[in-house]
Structure 1
């Protein structure tokens, strides 16, 4: 009886492995059009959750723009005795910007603990309710100190949005769609920036307190519709598998797909692939604790994800958030600065001798938003192991926010009239740091394109170098790899 039971168990394991291998092979061969036909609901639900990042992009761009708003400066700034003009000191600008970042770090840490326990949907709904309440602090802030407190509190749900939206997008879609859905997260962030620039441009001519209160109030538009969408969204099948609930995982998968579009689609095979990858990672790593992110091959994956996300800050992207203020420091009038800010976020071009710096900044925005900005979200979701993904992304985004605190302080002093007052020369500093990132990318960043999560696990386990990731053949089910032959 014992021998017969062992044979049955072995037979079931082999069958499951075959189903997983079959699903992985089908997923790799799936074209973009086929993926869209089979996973249209996954695309829609992912886009709903990702839209929460519009709020973060909006507020962070809003703050940088408000520093050039006369009414805002009169309310929250201090008077310069020599000129009689009001301005928000660099120290308080840093406190406002870094308050949001500090809150986001708290939210990221909180997300790492609660998302795996309660699931993405429940945590998202709770965060949306919280941000709705915290916006009241920003809207009614009587002084700059309360405004900082409001930024800290709002940063907590924003930090949760940063991890959950990327992780959800990476887990509900096949290989052919993952890069598009994870980079869409960045597009939502850019949309928020563009809306902030438009709202500020519309309110800059107002001379009353509403020139900055209206922009704060606009943030109440998004939480309710997003919340309604999240309530109806299915949970990630990967999350259910990690919780040991195969039936719920299969039900979630069916809600994410349109099986009628593909007669060969077998949800049991997909779940078998998810289970196989989950078990494979269990054999490669002892657990899913925070400390496991820094053990063995996971240390390399953590380094890649963290440095990739921090690269977004150290290449000079903060200049984009301070676009109107930057242009005013370069000598452009306030209204013209906001006009040019809108143009930059729409990726258009402009001419004029005085606006030469603005044209270069527009080029910078265009290059960033078509490369580093969106690709980062895809890389961080691909390079993390599925069992440690939430914690790895939390660490990476926390590193991003921590580096942003430093960058914010530097930028405020570099551009501040009462501080270093570098003006447009600030860009030279960030050109140097960008060069350092280029060197790191060349030697340390692998190419994950077209790989399943199981294949990536094997490549990292066998310590394949970053330069050979793309050319290495992988059999995730036989755990073997070999470098592809190349034709000279």
Structure 2
């Protein structure tokens, strides 16, 4: 279901030939029985398609991938609801205590709820790899949906002054959210043709942002109520997501990659017939492509255990899948976006208006995602991520500069750079991170690589969230916007890492990505590498 870059059609005279013991020069079939012609023919089906043509031709595959991304949308909705209800007066009345003249929810419980949710999501994402490899992608999502329905029940019927009940409900629901996020990326990578893989996998980030936006609007709309339904309604709305997901799983096909690995070839063919419906593509050919790719990975002694993530060339792939999320934290995403309302209030906006600006900033984030997804198959993953890192790093430094400049203009500058950061982040490293970690792994280890990426994301985001208040709050280091200097400096190192280690995977089939990693092609030369039909690899040093 994938196609190689157009440059793979013929060898160019100025190319550098890479000779390695693993190179294959035997014709259409290797000594081990791999049918190279199948891989080439399956790739050729999509070779000349533009993104627009591929979106129409493979509309069924896109529809299935986007539908399962509803789980990622719920993940964004849940995280924003959980933090947003604290701003609702009736929630503070029911769950807080009187401090001076106002009801306040203790910082200890706020940290406890947030930390428990983070741990729950980490555990859910990490367990998704093993569960999905055992019972399949569909049933993994179904388990998450059923558990989420019960967890929402616990939160909806929250009793006053029972913070432990909320802790319990949030942790369980967060487990499902981690599972949903992992499965959205996993499924999108496995059902999407190469020409659309960047859009469907990177689109997971868009669905997360959409969930955050919807949750913020719901909290704002309910915040004026004085009864307990002001916070119960936002919890109840979450039921919509797992119910729709559960009903949709009746018609959603299972991942053909999972089915082939389980030896269920007839079911895999039926799944491909659904995925490729209306495209005119040959399901039998794509089934053989999957079979040959999995067989090719087995020749590389590829296994599916957790320890295999850190063996051989898989170690490099696992580190890349982890570092795209670490780089996001190095570029200050938790600092800038987590304190956007704070910067708006500094600029002189009233709290209510600052909150509305926060909603506007999330709307800007969706615009950024559209820009990123519209360009990811043209500019590529590496280009967008690298320049996105530069933009976010520079933005943090400019925030830091504004923080030491006196006057109202500088405060307005901090608010403006917050919105610019949102646009830069969401059109670059935000969606591309989800794309890279979903497609960088081998087919055999995809579920576990994605699960590991979710875990790393949660760990580093949690650490930064804990540290930030100590750097920013007036009763601690009181650095305020000067924290931009810190993340601006750290972001430089993340940008350097991106340049040297994040490869370009645009237009590469699963077997081609395997081949380039097995031959240890450097990240900077991935886009220049040409893989011929006999699997001989050349690097065109003059290619752009």
Contact 2:78 2:215 in 1 (8 A): yes
Mapping of 1:59-208 within 5 angstroms? 59-81=78-100, 84-141=101-158, 142=160, 143-208=162-227
Between 18-27 and 234-243, the greater mean CA deviation after superposition: 18-27
Contact 1:330 1:423 in 2 (8 A): no
CA distance in 1, matches of 2:164, 2:305: 37
| TM-score normalized with structure 1 length | 0.89
CA distance in 2, matches of 1:286, 1:11: 18
Contact 2:276 2:283 in 1 (8 A): no
Query: Residues 485 and 465 from structure 1, CA distance in 2 versus in 1: closer, same or farther, beyond 3 angstroms?
Result: closer
Partner of 2:428: 371
CA distance in 2, matches of 1:70, 1:428: 35
CA distance in 1, matches of 2:104, 2:333: 23
Q: Secondary structure at the match of 1:450?
A: coil
Q: Secondary structure at the match of 1:287?
A: coil
Q: Which residue of 393, 403, 409 maps to 2:460? A: 403
Q: Which residue of 499, 502, 512 maps to 1:455? A: 512
Contact 2:116 2:167 in 1 (8 A): yes
Q: Secondary structure at the match of 2:238?
A: helix
Between 99-108 and 12-21, the greater mean CA deviation after superposition: 12-21
Cα shift at 1:123: 1.3
CA distance in 2, matches of 1:357, 1:11: 60
Cα shift at 1:280: 1.1
Partner of 1:47: 66
Structure 1 residue 361 and structure 2 residue 418: aligned?
yes
Q: Secondary structure at the match of 1:307?
A: helix
Q: Deviations over 1:219-263 (max 9, x none)?
A: 12222122211221001111111112221111110101135x53x
Structure 1 residue 267 and structure 2 residue 283: aligned?
yes
CA distance in 1, matches of 2:343, 2:119: 24
Partner of 2:439: 382
Cα shift at 1:47: 1.0
CA RMSD of aligned residues (A): 2.6
Cα shift at 1:418: 5.3
Q: Secondary structure at the match of 2:364?
A: coil
Partner of 1:7: none
CA distance in 1, matches of 2:106, 2:490: 26
Partner of 2:372: none
Q: Secondary structure at the match of 1:469?
A: helix
Query: Residues 427 and 92 from structure 1, CA distance in 2 versus in 1: closer, same or farther, beyond 3 angstroms?
Result: farther
Q: Deviations over 1:401-432 (max 9, x none)?
A: 11122122123444556555544444443333
Q: Secondary structure at the match of 1:447?
A: coil
Contact 1:98 1:408 in 2 (8 A): no
CA distance in 1, matches of 2:326, 2:294: 28
Partner of 2:258: 239
Cα shift at 1:154: 0.7
Partner of 1:3: none
Structure 1 residue 224 and structure 2 residue 243: aligned?
yes
Q: Which residue of 300, 303, 310 maps to 1:284? A: 300
Q: Deviations over 1:431-477 (max 9, x none)?
A: 333222112111111111111111111110111111111111123x5
Partner of 2:451: 394
Contact 2:65 2:187 in 1 (8 A): yes
Between 133-142 and 15-24, the greater mean CA deviation after superposition: 15-24
Contact 1:340 1:358 in 2 (8 A): no
Q: Secondary structure at the match of 2:424?
A: helix
CA distance in 2, matches of 1:90, 1:414: 16
Partner of 2:531: 474
Partner of 2:15: none
Q: Secondary structure at the match of 2:284?
A: helix
Cα shift at 1:321: 4.4
Contact 2:66 2:200 in 1 (8 A): yes
CA distance in 2, matches of 1:414, 1:207: 35
Partner of 2:370: none
Number of residues paired by the alignment? Answer: 471
Partner of 1:210: 229
Between 241-250 and 89-98, the greater mean CA deviation after superposition: 89-98
Q: Deviations over 1:186-224 (max 9, x none)?
A: 111010111111112212333443332322222122221
CA distance in 2, matches of 1:429, 1:153: 35
Q: Secondary structure at the match of 1:482?
A: strand
Cα shift at 1:355: 5.0
Partner of 1:251: 270
Between 115-124 and 417-426, the greater mean CA deviation after superposition: 417-426
